Amino acid sequence: MRRLDMRMNRLFALVAAMVVVLAACSSSGTSPSPSAAASAAPSAAASEAASAAPSSAAPSEAAKAEVRIGSDNFYESKLMAELYAQALEHAGYPVTRQFGLGSRQTRAPVFTKGLVDLVPEYVGSGLGYYDKTLVTGDGEANKTALQAQYDKADNLATVLAIAPGQDQNAAVVRGDTATSLNLTKMSDLAAVQDKLKWGLPPDCDKNPLCKDALESYGIKYPPKVRKALAACDAPIAQALQNKAIDFAWLCSTQPAIAQFGFKVLDDDKKTQPAENLAPVVRNDYLAKVDKAAFSAVLDAVSAKMTTDELTKLGVMVGVDNKDIGDVAKQWLTDNGLLN
């Protein structure tokens, strides 16, 4: 009997433990990210205020359907999504934030299946997701080609106007290297290639944007000294800053560039795809609203978003650890988009 009691006790303990673990897992799984939660509160209040005082009264409230905004799981995508969200809230659209949906590989299906209505997209990589061979160095051309892909996919979505700002693959050297070797553009690299330690991503051999691009500048591939480091990552930037490497592939708006005074070399042969940012909206959502009015809100944001602005905002979020909601609100206010 005693044995049985003990067994029962153990069983209860096990079940209790599993319940606790399951509860912990499920709550962490469904709760939104801290930044999303933090920014959701004030902006929800803002949207209430906006709808309470319908000053810009033109379309009826019914035409302002709720919009679910998603983003990738990194600061710049979240920041753009938050900018869109606050601008739309200001214009009276109810917004649900579903930020941090992973990388494009996981986020794209979420969008395709209609779980979110609007996402920020880089037109080059967004197009590359469908067909790498179509990507060009021209932002408008990439936008048009990406739109064609969505049209082909059952008229899925509309790519709104692109921002001048883009987050592009950037060939970067330290400020002191640029000065001492007189480097300003990628064409300058071939002559000094053996003096540099190259930080190249592990897929460089097979990546036309890496190997082929370097070769088009007359750089012999592979260079004598190379280190395999993922592009746009923190380690490659730290390695560059500390002279473990002299050349790195970063992203043009990466905060480290401004933070450590790196020099971005001009891609004078336009080997890298244009990566202008644009909002992509599902057509089934656009059918529920006044499309022109909805687009106008986002176009106004895109028009002001240059690469410099993106970089500045990136430093605030990525280096100074400011809240994305606050940074977005300040930027929209400064640019007269919340008046």
Of residues 185-204, those binding other proteins (CB under 8 A): 197, 199, 201-203
Distance CA 334, CA 13 (A): 58
The two structure tokens encoding residue 289: 């609203």
Phi, psi of 226 (to 5 degrees): -140, 145
Alpha-carbon torsion, ordered 52, 57, 60, 62, to 10 deg: -30
Q: Indicate whether 180 belongs to the interface with other proteins (CB under 8 A).
A: no
Query: Which one among 79, 81, 135, 229 touches other proteins, defined by CB under 8 A?
Result: 229
Residue from 34, 154, 206, 321 binding other proteins (CB under 8 A): 206
Binder among 31, 103, 242, 306 for other proteins (CB under 8 A): 242
Q: With contacts defined by CB under 8 A, name the span among 42-50, 118-126, 221-229, 252-260 that binds other proteins.
A: 221-229
Q: Is 218 helix (H, G, I), strand (E, B) or coil?
A: coil
Shortest distance (Å) from residue 256 CB to other proteins:
12
Under rule CB under 8 A, residue 308 binds other proteins: no
For residue 264, how many other CB atoms are within 10 A of its CB?
18
Vertex 232: Cα angle to 108 and 228 (nearest 5): 110
Report if residue 234 touches other proteins, rule: CB under 8 A.
yes
Q: Hey, what are 48's tokens?
A: 């209430």
Q: How far is the CB of 290 from other proteins (least distance, A)?
A: 43
Residue 205 interacts with other proteins (CB under 8 A): yes or no:
yes
- Minimum Å distance from CB 54 to other proteins? 50
Nearest distance from residue 132's CB to other proteins, in Å? 12
Nearer Cβ to other proteins, position 258 or 260? 260
Those residues whose C-beta lies under 8 Å from the C-beta of residue 139, and which sit 6 or more positions away, are 123, 124, 162, 166, 274, 275, 276
The reply to whether 259 sits near other proteins by the rule CB under 8 A is no
Q: Maximum distance among all alpha carbons in the chain? A: 87
Distance CA 297, CA 283 (A): 17
Residue 3 or residue 206: which is nearer to other proteins going by CB? Answer: 206
Chain-centre distance for alpha carbon 252: 12
Name the phi and psi angles at 254, rounded to 5.
Answer: -60, 125
CB under 8 A: which stretch of 44-52, 145-153, 237-245, 257-265 binds other proteins? Answer: 237-245
List of residues contacting other proteins (CB under 8 A) = 197, 199, 201-203, 205-206, 227-230, 234-235, 238-239, 241-245
